[in-house]
Amino acid sequence: MSDAPLKGLKVIEMARILAGPWAGQTLSDLGAEVIKLESPRGDDTRKWGPPFVERDEDVSASYYHSTNRGKASVVVDFATPEGQARVRELVADADVVIENFKVGGLEKYGLDYASLAQVNPRLVYCSITGFGQDGPYAHRAGYDFIIQGMSGLMSITGEPDGQPQKTGVAITDIFTGVYAVTGILAALRMRDRTGRGQQVDMALLDVAVAVTANQALNYLTTGQAPERMGNAHMNLTPYEVFDCADGHIIIATGNDAQYQRLCRLLDLADMAEAPEYLENKDRIANRRVMIARLNGATATRTMNDLLAACEAQGVPAGPINTLDRVMADPQVIARGMQISLDGVPGIRAPFRFSDADLALTRPAPKLGEDTDRY
């Protein structure tokens, strides 16, 4: 068995809820030693249930287990001099600190970046907040739902005649956790060259604005804000959910040839070469009529029949799975995405290496499980 890529990296996590712990869990999966410092009452998400995971005498919410795998749990009371001294002792030989307190929240304990950098000048200190370390909103608490609204993400999600919609998971928290890992690894690489650590300032709003991606460029290019289009794609068509006789499937054509093959398998050969649908720009201009005809044809076919026909003809299509179907999907099974650690279920981090392994050794820790070990 190969080593995990980040074996030997020591991370102190002073974070709770989701974005910070997600970054910590990702580093842990990659082989880092992650020591989660918890208050005597523990991470709030331990109680965010039901459902709960019962392990020996510990009962913690599934939510907590989804984002704290592989870590050690050490109880520390930051408000006491003893607790503050304990943190400084742990940080003295650490590589990384992850924290998600409000701006200035750790300064009164002497646990902010400026203070801990004096203890360990090589420290990479990642601060995760809603709005960053500066700017007019820096003092505000950040919540994923609110950030989804402020960032524009909800303005482009949902049906045109319905309410703006958030995503089904806390996507700005998750993205911030992933971007935080990227920033941490970049700072560590820079430390290899300079010998110095630094602070990495991650803000949920920055991340959420960044991942508006092509929709942001649609606006910046035209000066016109994109609107909600339900399951349709602003820049491509046909690329949406279609009705079937027994449900719905996704058809996502990415070029003219795929569109033409779709028309032919639906017995709509006249549409394949029609000038009003010949290129994507033409299909965008005549989207409403085109989709109505295509949907009329898909509605006469069963989901399995149409998916098989699309597969056979090289037309990108897929089902809309519930999570029970996801876990039973042969591709998900083949890739080993569902795991179990000491009887606690989980989802594997999506990294596959040719010469390294993930460090999937233990489930999320019980509160204070490792206090005596450190």
CA–CA separation, 206 and 130 (whole Å)? 9
Active site residue 3: no
1 pLDDT above the threshold of 70: no
How does the average pLDDT of the chain come out, rounded? 97
Q: What is the pLDDT of residue 56?
A: 85
* Cα–Cα separations (whole angstroms), residue 240 to 15, 151, 192: 39, 24, 47
User: For the chain, which domains are there?
Assistant: 10-211+335-373 (3.40.50.10540), 239-324 (3.30.1540.10)
* Cα–Cα separations (whole angstroms), residue 274 to 58, 277, 278, 284, 290: 65, 6, 6, 14, 11
Q: What is the pLDDT of residue 57?
A: 85
CA–CA separation, 177 and 314 (whole Å)? 36
59 pLDDT above the threshold of 70: yes
Q: Note the pLDDT tens digit of each residue in 189-199.
A: 999 999 999 99
Confidence of residue 2 (pLDDT cuts 50, 70, 90): confident
- Look at residue 100 and give its three-state secondary structure: coil
For 50, the token pair is: 């039901």
Query: Can you tell me the mean pLDDT for 165-189?
Result: 98
What's the DSSP call for residue 252? E
List the catalytic residue out of 112, 144, 173, 206.
173
Cα atoms in the Cβ-side hemisphere of radius 13 Å centred on 238: 27
Query: Does the N-terminal peptide bond of residue 121 adopt cis geometry, omega within 30 degrees of 0?
Result: no
What's the DSSP call for residue 132? -
Query: Can you tell me the mean pLDDT for 101-123?
Result: 97
- Look at residue 323 and give its three-state secondary structure: helix
Q: Note the pLDDT tens digit of each residue in 3-31.
A: 999 999 999 999 999 999 999 999 999 99
**Best CA proximity match to 71, nearest among 368, 362, 374:** 362
Number of H-type helices and E-type strands within the chain: 15, 13
Percent of the chain with pLDDT over 70: 100
Query: Can you tell me the mean pLDDT for 235-264?
Result: 97
Burial class (CB within 10 angstroms; exposed 0-12, middle 13-18, buried 19+) of 218: middle
